[in-house]
Amino acid sequence: MLAEGARQLAQGKKPRMGDLLLTPANAQRVADQLAQLRGAAMKVGQLLSMDAGSLMPPELAEILARLRENARTMPMSQVVEVLETHWGKGWEKHFSRFSFTPAAAASIGQVHRACDKGGRELAVKIQYPGVRRSIDSDVDNVATLLKLSGLLPKNLNVAPLLNEAKRQLHEEADYHHEAQCLQRFRQLLDGDADFLLPEAISALTSTDILVMSWVEGVAVESLDTAPQAVRDRIASRLIGLFFRELFEFRLIQTDPNFANYRYVAEHEQVVLLDFGATRVYPLDTVEAYRDLMQAAVRGDRFAMTAAARAIGYFDEHIHDQQRDAVVDLFALACEPLRHVGRYDFAGSDLPLRLRDAGMKLSMDRDFWHTPPADALFLHRKLGGLYLLAARLKAQVDVRLLAQPHLLALSMEST
């Protein structure tokens, strides 16, 4: 940035900090550094890239998009070191086969395929050394990067959100916690043939190693040319599961990464993976979202305003224009819920309209406000599902999927 700034000053120009950061060459360097850092820094880059091109300058979006797949893998010597640290010398006695070539690599760890002595196929997720120690500094550094780029308003108080992000990432880096969340979801979905989840092997799982049964399946985002019925089925099941998570379980897997979903065509099952980002939702928050969605279906803006206030999106002192803008944003997000029949995600520009409305609100300097973390993580999940449905060109009757939960909660409160 300094070198580029010096060149522009020599040419008589007055460079802006954000412009210096977002040159194509510097964006390339940022992406490369995030890929090497792994951990929290890379995870933030992956989140930024979920909707590449819609939120950021295209130069940065295009390069950051590579972070969804391009994690640097550990060398074999480092894998052996981690395994010996947790399982001791002779750890290989547990397996008849262990592949040192990772089957997948992500921001916090990488997955290896193995087979135990009984012939059971296993997935062994190994955390990168040092990830937990670097979480706090990584989040702070990426936040500084975003502020320099101009993507975050300088006066916005993001400290509560950054603290919550750190807390969430520390939980994700605790594989004992993820194993417990996985087992909880297996219990909640027990007997539901629409979904397939791996089973955690508790005897071999530690804070840094998660061992699960291996589950086959193809990546759902690769099915964009599959028959329409298949694409509709996948999107419908995942959106329907979201409503169950919110209203029935009050437990939401909030990471919308497409890689967390696979599909087994033979049994028409959606595979659910990665439960590190699971959050428990308090009853009052769930009820506020119930009220919000019911009001959106009725077109009752007064009730939507009350629900948005209960969620924590604004206080009593908000200007009327700002309050209306927030309610407009919620109404827009609930468009598939208000639609009667199948909502065509492929033919909708809903993500772009949500982006434009959100950006317009964020430009209002008098309304820079950080919503509660529970709301942001929930919207992150729902936004990811919308993007996946659009990727699959799916048609989903969202209203039909939500209706039983909204009616059930309404009857309970009555």
- Please count the other Cβ atoms lying within 10 Å of the Cβ belonging to residue 2: 7
**Of 138, 232, 255, 374, catalytic:** 255
Instruction: Kindly report the backbone phi and psi dihedral angles of residue 211, in degrees, each rounded to the nearest multiple of 5, phi listed first.
Output: -110, 130
**Position 70, amino acid:** N
Q: Which of 339, 351, 337, 333 is nearest to 391 (CA)?
A: 351
pTM: 0.82
Do the beta carbons of residue 239 and residue 389 sit within 8 Å?
yes
Q: Which of 177, 279, 240, 195 is nearest to 187 (CA)?
A: 195
Catalytic, 328? Answer no
Do the beta carbons of residue 271 and residue 260 sit within 8 Å?
no
Pairing of strands 269-272, 195-196: parallel
For residues 123 and 56, give the distance between their C-alpha atoms in angstroms, rounded to a whole number.
35
The size of the chain, in residues, is 414
pLDDT tens, residue order, the chain (414 aa) = 667 667 777 777 776 655 666 566 666 676 666 666 666 655 655 555 544 344 455 555 555 555 555 556 788 999 999 999 999 999 999 899 999 999 987 778 899 999 999 999 999 999 988 888 888 888 887 777 667 666 555 666 667 777 887 888 888 889 999 999 999 999 999 989 999 999 999 999 999 999 999 999 999 988 989 999 999 999 999 999 999 999 999 999 998 888 899 999 999 999 999 998 899 999 999 999 999 999 999 999 999 999 988 988 876 667 777 788 888 888 988 999 999 999 999 888 887 787 777 766 665 555 556 678 888 888 888 888 988 999 899 999 999 999 999 875 444 444
For residues 325 and 367, give the distance between their C-alpha atoms in angstroms, rounded to a whole number.
10
> And the tokens for 282?
């308090």
